[in-house]
Structure 1
Amino acid sequence: MTVNPNISTDATLERWLGTIKTHVDPLKPNGKTPSLCGVDFKGSSLGLLKAKIEEAGRVLARNPADSITICIAETGQCRGAAAKREIRVIPKRLAFILLPGEVLNLEIISHQVSGLLLQVPTTILLRECELHGTEDPDLLSLQETIPGHETLILACTQQLLDLADKDEGPAKSRLIDPLEASILSLIASLVGTTKGSSAAGNASEPSQSAHVQAALAFMEDYLAGTITLADLCKACCISARTLQVSFQTVTNRSPLQFLQELRFIRFRDLLLQRMDVRSACKQVGLQPTGRMAANYKRLFGELPRETKPQKT
């Protein structure tokens, strides 16, 4: 597991946009050298690249032969094709999917573009699909099922990038590994099947992710207050059982476990920003008690008062 902030252009383009062939043209007519900056994460089951490319006119790349790559756009304008499929760039929406060995031909219109690249080895994703009961999975179906779930994917991947950027320690893996597994599970839950007879059995999978996405949005909006399972069910307009099953399927955790983990992650972020313990607790809905401190130490390997801002 590695995370590389302030990544270099050449190494990252080679690693992410294809180890076979990668070609980047400068933006015309100024001819400036293309540059890339962002955060690069490589875990045990997936990789993430949240990046910004500047002064590039065209990117030609071949996806690795053993992985599927998903791109969600954030800013900028571009057009082109992934294989022969047209690319449409809308902020916070799926831009393209590359299957193993497919070629990306991207014409960048604006001076800069940014987005998230999520890359999963094909064998790992197919194995996860089997665990979800998807027979004969069709990975290209993600092009139809991911739209509408980008907010949840971006939220989960940002949590992973934030955690990966923290100091090393035994508690780091205890948080990152389950979150990485949850993102993989979410993507697998959206994979459809090529068999018509199995389509009905998988029809509920995307809706489960939508339930989790709605619950996550509610948690973020009301994190400082008291949130009950009934509150989440009301916000999502579903029963408690449906919400519980949806969270277990997509995140491998219960709704309230996910909420508590989210609170501790946000709490730690505030401490790293030099906020005092009591104020940080108030902002994320935690009580500054000994039990809270013990749970924090179990997760991060240190007490809240021992968490110091990172040196710049």
Structure 2
Amino acid sequence: MEVLGRLLALLVVLLLGAGLRMSGVLDERRTDRLNAAAYYVALPALIFVSTYDQAIGSLLSVELAVGVTVVLFSTAGLAWLVHRHRSSPARRSVAIVQSYHSNLGYLGLPLVAATFGGDVTAIASVVLGFVTLMQLPLTVVLLSTINGASANIGVELRGLATNPVLLSLLIGLGVGSLGVTVPSGAATGVDVLGALALPLALLCVGASLQLETPTIDFEATGTVVALKICCMPVLAWAVFSALAVDAATLTATVVMLGTPTAVSTFVFASSLGGDEEFASLNVFVTTLASVATLFVLITLVG
């Protein structure tokens, strides 16, 4: 019941963000400030405090790298097979991308940190960094290729080099691997900032959700939901069980890869010729439906 209560609280904060946006309290300027606080301060703090006392060898294993790669590209391949016959390239590209592109930073890692112990959170931080390096370029390539839109892959890759999430992960793993001692006061302060990651991120996601859409393609949206929050975590469970990883790795990967579609996919779709209304609807529906599926996943793996 504690897990259910936590997820229901997550839903309340998420809907609060949407309500504040609709009422005008969270306008574009204030939402941007909240996003900046979450993305540049709270989330990096959470990643650092989860990894600064861990050696990289204890977190990043061959099994983890192989398993995450297999799950990501297998889901993307399955999504391409399922959605390849959709007549509109704009809708087809969005459906494929949103079937695998996970909300790891704003929902996955904060949720893991609030629900599980430090060992699971540390591995989830590595999953966040590793998957980001693959799913972001893959999403840009697929959207630009299918829609015939121009995209500067070099710019996206350079953006990854300055990504605060990845930088904080590298710094945390570096400190842990070198055995550098972090003063207790500093660690406590960073821990407090990291605790703000989940509520800030949920408000930002809620404020970013677009609820208005004139037409709903129930079959297409239902397929995206099924692939993203049902098929992908089940595939992760099967792959990592076959790899015989430890319980912390299994828990971290299954929950992280079971998160809903990332809000960033709507941004990419808007700039690379995708169906914006369809993308917005899918983000909203997968996020709401994930409250139920994440409860099941957390109950089973926890």
Do both proteins adopt the same fold according to a TM-score greater than 0.5, normalized to the shorter chain?
no
- TM-score, with normalisation over the residues of structure 2? 0.27
Query: Which one scores higher on RCO, CA 8 angstroms, separation ≥ 6?
Result: 2
Q: Which is helix-richer, 1 or 2?
A: 2
